[in-house]
Amino acid sequence: MSRVIKRSKWPAVRRNLLLGVSLGLLQLLAIGEVIDFWHLHLPWWLYVGLGTLFYLLIPGLAGFLAAQKTGDDNIGVGAGCLVGAVSIFIAITAALIADAQTSLPSCVDSCPGAGFLTFFVVISEGFGGTIVTVIGSSVGESLGQQRFLARYQSGGTRDKPAD
């Protein structure tokens, strides 16, 4: 009689949540610079480029780690999307809190365009982060499945490849 070892999914979920929080904290550093908290005065395109790179690499890593373990289809995209969702939630929450706490010096009573600018930044962060997260996690999943199949063919794993 063969023994079936049931693996818990909680360590992988915890790892993905931790990756999402770390990606969100990296975004907080960028948001802090955009609202002139760190006083570095770097060009805006550098923040967009770094944010895109982080949203490609970190969910891609989560997708790779999930897919190379089991070889299942769409498990890497799900892991990467969890990472992206957590980080987008943290970044959007931070942007809204920063907007609520900062006041523009030229606006004493009200600023008619400030709410729209915050709304635009939040929507851009959400859509852009989601699209790049799915792309990064798809690439990571593809690489993880290739790694799983290479391990399976060399006899390094007892799991069977996903059909």
How many domains is the chain partitioned into structurally?
Answer: 1
d(C-alpha 151, C-alpha 163), whole Å: 16
Residue 138 lies in a domain: yes
Query: Is residue 109 a part of any domain in this protein?
Result: no
In a domain, 94, yes or no: yes
Residue 148 lies in a domain: yes
Helices (H), 71-113: 75-101
Q: Is residue 147 part of a domain?
A: yes
Running DSSP on this structure, what letter comes out for residue 144?
H
Q: What is the pLDDT of residues 59-103, one digit of tens each?
A: 999 999 988 888 888 888 989 889 988 988 887 787 777 667 665
Spatial separation of the C-alpha atoms in residues 56 and 51, rounded to whole Å:
9
In which domain, by residue range, is 16 found? 12-100+117-153
Mean pLDDT for all residues in the chain? 77
Check if the beta carbon of residue 65 is closer than 8 Å to that of residue 15.
Answer: yes
Please give the pLDDT value at position 40.
63
Q: pTM surpassing 0.85?
A: no
Handedness of CA 22, 26, 32, 34 (dihedral sign): negative
Biggest CA-to-CA distance, the chain: 77
Average pLDDT for 17-30: 84
List of residues 6+ apart from 96 with CB closer than 8 A: 118, 122
Higher pLDDT, 106 or 13: 13
Residue 4 lies in a domain: no
Instruction: Examine residue 161 and state whether it is found in any structural domain, yes or no.
Output: no
Of 93, 68, 90, 89, give the one whose Cα is nearest residue 79: 68
37 domain residue, yes or no: yes
Measure the CA angle with vertex 146, ends 145 and 151; round to 5°: 95
State the sign of the Cα–Cα–Cα–Cα dihedral 156, 157, 160, 163.
negative
Tokens of 125: 């962060």
